[in-house]
Amino acid sequence: MSKIIIVGGGECGARAAFALREQGFNGDITLIGAEPHLPYERPPLSKTGLASAAPPQYVAGPARYEEARITILTGVPVDTVDRQSKLVRLSDGRKFPYDQLLLATGARPRPFAGVSGDPGLGRICMLRNHGDAVAIHEALAPGKSLAVVGGGFIGLEIAATARKLGAEVLLIESSPRVLSRGVPAEIAKVVTERHRQEGVNILCGEQITSIATENDKVQILFANGTTRLADIVVVGIGVIPNVELAEAAGLLIDNGIAVDATLRTSDPDIFAAGDCCSFPLSHYRERRVRLEAWRNAQDQGMLVAANLLGRGLAIASVPWFWSDQYELTLQIAGLSDGAATTVRRDLDQGAFILFHLDGEDRLIAASGIGPGNAVARDIRLAEMLIAAKRRLDPEALASPKTNLKKLLAA
Amino acid sequence: MSQGWVEVCGVDDIDEEDLIRFDHDGRTFAVYRSSDGGYYATDGLCTHEQIHLADGLVMDEIIECPKHNGRFNYKTGEAMGAPVCVNLKTYPAKVEAGTVFIAIS
Ligand SMILES: Cc1cc2nc3c(=O)[nH]c(=O)nc-3n(C[C@H](O)[C@H](O)[C@H](O)COP(=O)(O)OP(=O)(O)OC[C@H]3O[C@@H](n4cnc5c(N)ncnc54)[C@H](O)[C@@H]3O)c2cc1C
Ligand code: FES
């Protein structure tokens, strides 16, 4: 019987395993994960999960794996992939043969080079897994001071949650503004103002040279010679794809495990999907991207399952991302860099959407922010309009009176 | 315990192929008007993270949750795949004299 092994028990690996069964695969499915838990959702780790340190929110309970006849091994990393004999070796020495392999190894936080002292004391942290969230939660309390290094999504979400828990928050970003990657300045401004209103001290354009534990505090040294002290520091300066296993096996690497439009690596029997891989994006002139987003992990998990079964489907989804901070939700569909025109559509409750169009008036991205789910419907429709690649009238998009659903049907 | 039919709104208070949120007796429902003029009702909160479906998008027979785009068939309540796996409860709906009613049990 045919054997499929999935390395990586995250969103993408778990989704692929279930999708294989849903799509009719009858052979053996083995999902191997390095973490001690069944696959769980990461987005809550910086939001509700961090606020409560509740148990992880599992993608599925143990009964569903059993029902779907998915063998799941947790707490054991795969150490090597032997492509000649087609087997994987686990850190505990066990070996498993495969016919086809899926690498869904995800990514890990990028460490800050200037950390010194003992990060094991739990005062200099990064956030990727459930254990990290529990450690940060436990260190936070009313009156404690937190410094967040990095003004990206993770850093900002941690700042918002820490304020909810009553901690004092300083956020340090080296760029001139927060969310400098992929988020328009107009939206970053709303986010910055909202954080300042909550009392978060945001410093932009500041370089840090070192972070060191010092007695029961952490000292942050800036390039300009000044220092700051905090009880706990969380570093959130991006992630590094987990490619080591693939690299050692001799697979092609290019900002992640390089795959083609069907998520196949340079070895025809090995696929890769989720945060660990880079792929050509058809809506953006086959530009090679690596996405670090939950929906992408899900979509690719389902697509790769079809392709493990020989369907040969090309990636067609439009990138989509969301973030929650306080009552605000931000959603982005598509990639906005390279836009020729941007128009703004104002919605109720101060919510707004920016539509980004290329030189031929085709929608390439939409970014929106507002309370609750105020922008959700229009962003979803924008995603479909991007996929449809149709020419649109920028003024019509900007007018809140224009029904986007009708534009899609037109 | 059956409470019988409850008045929701006028027929035109819901746009074609759209839905509204309806709160009653401490519960939240979503009431839909399909493109062929039928009316339907389901629980109003997504079974994934309890988000109001009323901010979501209706297309064909599907309601898509605004939060993570989980999908349900609103006529049957069936969850259409990840991240939702628990179906929505559905309730009978009817129109009488230009008013939409749903049966809450
Ligand atoms: C705190 C946080 C908040 C987030 N919030 C959002 C959000 O609001 N919106 C959004 O769109 N996205 C968000 N994301 C991103 C989203 O969670 C990721 O894109 C998604 O988890 C990627 O899934 P994945 O399966 O590719 O990788 P991962 O979730 O990283 O899973 C990979 C798994 O593989 C395991 N692994 C690695 N190497 C091996 C090996 N050799 N052997 C066995 N196992 C291995 C890892 O331990 C890990 O468990 C957030 C991420 C984090 C960390
Ligand atoms: S809350 Fe509805 S899909 Fe997650």
Return the minimum-mean-pLDDT range out of A60-64, A97-101, A290-294, A405-409.
A405-409
Q: Give me the half-sphere count of Cα atoms (radius 13 Å) on the Cβ side of residue A168.
A: 7
What's the confidence (pLDDT) of residue A53? 81
Taking the centre of ligand 1 as the mean of its atom positions, its distance from the CA of residue B23, in whole angstroms, is: 37
Contacts of residue A266, defined as CB under 8 A and 6 or more positions apart, other chains included, come to: A251, A252, A258
Average pLDDT in the A63-81 region? 98
Average pLDDT in the A161-184 region? 96
Contacts of residue A221, defined as CB under 8 A and 6 or more positions apart, other chains included, come to: A114, A208, A209, A210, A211, A212, A227
What's the confidence (pLDDT) of residue A214? 86
Burial of A113-129, coded b for 16+ CB within 10 Å and e otherwise, reads eebeeebeeebbbbbbb
In angstroms, the CA B92 to CA A192 distance is 46
User: Model pTM greater than 0.90?
Assistant: yes
**A61 at interface of B, judged by CB pairs closer than 8 A:** no
What's the pLDDT band for A404 if we cut at 50, 70, 90? Answer: very high
Tokens of B88: 């929505």
Tokens of A209: 């040279």
- Tell which CATH architecture fits domain A3-44+56-108+240-308: 3-Layer(bba) Sandwich (3.50)
DSSP string, A279-316: EEEGGGTTEEE----HHHHHHHHHHHHHHHTT--PPP-
Whether ligand 1 lies within 6 angstroms of the CB of A345 is answered as no
Written in H, E and C, the secondary structure of A88-117 is EEECCCCEEECCEEEECCCEEECCCCCEEC
**Structure letter (DSSP) for residue B29:** E
Helices (H) and strands (E) in chain B, counts: 0, 10
Written in H, E and C, the secondary structure of A381-408 is HHHHHHHHCCECCHHHHHCCCCCHHHHH
Q: Does B69 contact A295 at a Cβ distance shorter than 8 Å?
A: yes
What's the confidence (pLDDT) of residue B1? 47
Contacts of residue B97, defined as CB under 8 A and 6 or more positions apart, other chains included, come to: none
Is residue A237 a contact partner of residue A112, using CB atoms and an 8 Å limit?
yes
Please give, rounded to a whole number of angstroms, the shortest distance from the CA of A375 to a CA of chain B. Answer: 9
Burial of B50-83, coded b for 16+ CB within 10 Å and e otherwise, reads ebbbbbbbbbebebbbbbbbbbbbbeebbbbbbb
DSSP3 helix / strand / coil % (chain A, rounded to 5): 30, 30, 40
- Domains in chain B, ordered, with CATH? 3-101 (2.102.10.10)
Pick the CATH number of A111-237 from 3.40.50.1000, 2.40.50.430, 3.40.50.10780, 3.50.50.60: 3.50.50.60
Residues A10-67 pLDDT 10s: 999 999 999 999 999 999 999 999 999 999 999 999 999 999 988 999 999 999 999 9
Same fold for the pair A3-44+56-108+240-308 and A111-237:
yes
Percent of chain A scoring above 70 in pLDDT = 99
- Sorted by where each begins, the domain ranges of chain A are 3-44+56-108+240-308, 111-237, 327-409
What's the pLDDT band for A122 if we cut at 50, 70, 90? Answer: confident
In angstroms, the CA B56 to CA B67 distance is 8
Tokens of B6: 């409850």
Taking the centre of ligand 2 as the mean of its atom positions, its distance from the CA of residue B86, in whole angstroms, is: 11
Q: Is the pLDDT of residue A342 over 60?
A: yes
What's the confidence (pLDDT) of residue B31? 98
Tokens of B70: 């989980």
A140, A333, B74 from A237: Cα distances, Å: 20, 22, 42
Contacts of A18 in chain B (CB under 8 A): 82
A45, A49, A281, B45 from B52: Cα distances, Å: 22, 20, 32, 5
The mean pLDDT of chain A is 96
Residue bearing the bigger pLDDT, A376 or A283: A376
Taking the centre of ligand 1 as the mean of its atom positions, its distance from the CA of residue A75, in whole angstroms, is: 15
Tokens of A37: 């838990």
Helices (H) and strands (E) in chain A, counts: 11, 27
Contacts of A380 in chain B (CB under 8 A): 57, 64, 66, 69
Tens-digit pLDDT string for chain B (105 aa): 456 899 999 999 999 999 999 999 999 999 999 999 999 999 999 999 999 999 999 999 999 999 999 999 999 999 998 888 899 999 999 999 999 999 997
Is residue A133 a contact partner of residue A257, using CB atoms and an 8 Å limit?
no
Tokens of A170: 């300083």
- Which listed ligand is nearest to A16 at the C-alpha? 1
**Structure letter (DSSP) for residue B45:** B
Residues A229-247 pLDDT 10s: 999 999 999 999 999 999 9
Cβ-based neighbour number of residue A331 at 10 Å: 25
What's the confidence (pLDDT) of residue A290? 98
Looking at the domain A327-409, which fold is it? Enolase-like; domain 1 (3.30.390)
What's the confidence (pLDDT) of residue A115? 86
Average pLDDT in the A264-285 region? 96
Please give, rounded to a whole number of angstroms, the shortest distance from the CA of A407 to a CA of chain B. Answer: 14
Return the minimum-mean-pLDDT range out of A248-252, A329-333, B81-85.
B81-85
If we measure between CA atoms, which residue out of B35, B22, B2, B9 comes closest to residue B98? B9
